[in-house]
């Protein structure tokens, strides 16, 4: 099968292959016997994508003509839409939509261009990444499925980003092909969460309500009232782990949470990284 990965690299049609997912997705596709064509916005990443085993193409996902030509040349059996612009994103979450502006364009106009190119070239399958977590509705149980709706009243700073996610999901699932949307959770680990760790260390990560990360306060989670607090406790957790690593060598065990190092200090997905079990 030929795969175009948009936003990564490969001949099996993967778009956006140079990111945290793409660097693992492309070799996996190649190992499975697929021909992968990966796209990237940076010419400097071309050689790295070829090392992963894919053909590589420099592509601006917001250029409709270039997208159409790239898909036509690749003639993929499936397009994997991984295009985002998260690298180098700022750390001020009060300006969430501003930091996600280009990613939102890639989720709207970029998705439109890829779907149009897929239709023009007769591509039968399309897979796109979305996100789960903060976009979910704040009603009902804590565990959400694909049947649960997205938040109908997101914070003002996240409205445009959630609107872009809605657009992508509807466009892909209603397109005249076999469209699949994968809602990723928060990814953490090498290459994926360093920015979050930096924000916690700097005391810039927002905590909602009491910051427990597991429940929601009825008062602090109403649409008109959301608290943004300095995560000073999370800062202390990471600082302690960093000091232990420096004293003890290159490998640090992640202990279970102590009385002052709790999940309340580390936002969802970062508890382990912060040394909070």
- Report the distance separating Cα 228 and Cα 214, nearest Å: 17
Question: What does the DSSP 8-state code read for residue 41?
Answer: S
Residues 6+ apart with CB under 8 A from 150: 135, 136, 137, 162, 165, 166
The phi, psi pair for 93, rounded to 5°, reads -75, -5
Residue-level length of the chain = 277
* CA geometry: angle 131, 136, 140, nearest 5 deg: 150
Q: What is 2-184's CATH number, 3.30.1490.20, 1.10.10.10, 3.90.1530.10, 3.40.50.720? A: 3.40.50.720
Question: To which H or E segment does residue 88 belong?
Answer: none
The phi, psi pair for 88, rounded to 5°, reads 75, 15
- Report the distance separating Cα 247 and Cα 112, nearest Å: 52
* pLDDT in 10s for each residue of the chain, 277 residues: 999 998 863 333 445 444 677 778 899 999 999 999 999 988 888 888 898 899 999 999 999 999 999 999 999 999 999 999 877 666 677 788 998 999 999 999 999 999 999 999 999 999 999 998 888 888 888 888 888 889 998 989 999 999 999 999 999 999 999 999 999 887 777 766 777 777 777 777 766 666 665 544 333 333 333 333 333 443 344 344 444 434 433 222 223 333 333 333 333 433 333 333 3
Q: Are 91 and 199 in contact (CB under 8 A)?
A: yes
Question: To which H or E segment does residue 146 belong?
Answer: none
The per-residue pLDDT for 130 is 93
The phi, psi pair for 164, rounded to 5°, reads -65, -40
The per-residue pLDDT for 106 is 96
Domain residue ranges in the chain: 2-184, 194-265
The per-residue pLDDT for 208 is 63
The per-residue pLDDT for 201 is 77
Residues 6+ apart with CB under 8 A from 124: 77, 78, 177, 178
* CA geometry: angle 30, 33, 34, nearest 5 deg: 65
Residues 6+ apart with CB under 8 A from 83: 6, 7, 15, 16, 39, 61, 106, 110, 114
The per-residue pLDDT for 97 is 92
Full-model pTM: 0.71
């Amino acid at each position: 099968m030929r795969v175009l990965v948009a936003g990564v690299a490969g001949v099996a049609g993967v778009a956006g292959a140079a990111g945290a997912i793409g660097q693992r997705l492309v070799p996996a596709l190649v190992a499975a016997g697929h021909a992968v064509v990966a796209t990237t916005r940076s010419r400097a990443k071309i050689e790295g994508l070829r090392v992963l085993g894919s053909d590589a193409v420099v592509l601006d996902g917001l250029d409709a003509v270039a997208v159409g030509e790239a898909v036509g040349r690749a003639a993929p059996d499936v397009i994997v839409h991984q295009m985002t612009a998260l690298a180098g994103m700022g750390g001020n979450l009060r300006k969430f939509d501003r930091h996600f502006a280009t990613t939102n364009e890639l989720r709207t106009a970029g998705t439109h261009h890829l779907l149009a190119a897929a239709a023009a070239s007769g591509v039968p399958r399309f897979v796109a990444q979305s996100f789960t977590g903060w976009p979910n509705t704040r009603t009902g149980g804590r565990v959400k499925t694909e049947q649960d709706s997205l938040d109908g009243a997101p914070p003002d700073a996240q409205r445009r980003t959630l609107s872009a996610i809605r657009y992508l999901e509807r466009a892909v699932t209603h397109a005249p092909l076999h469209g699949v949307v994968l809602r990723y959770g928060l990814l953490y680990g090498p290459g994926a969460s360093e920015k979050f760790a930096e924000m916690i260390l700097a005391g810039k990560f927002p905590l909602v309500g009491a910051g427990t990360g597991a429940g929601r306060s009825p008062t602090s989670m109403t649409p008109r009232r959301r608290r943004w607090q300095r995560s000073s406790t999370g800062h202390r957790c990471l600082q302690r782990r960093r000091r232990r690593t420096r004293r003890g060598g290159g490998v640090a065990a992640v202990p279970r949470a102590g009385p002052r190092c709790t999940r309340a200090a580390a936002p969802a997905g970062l508890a382990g990284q912060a040394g909070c079990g």
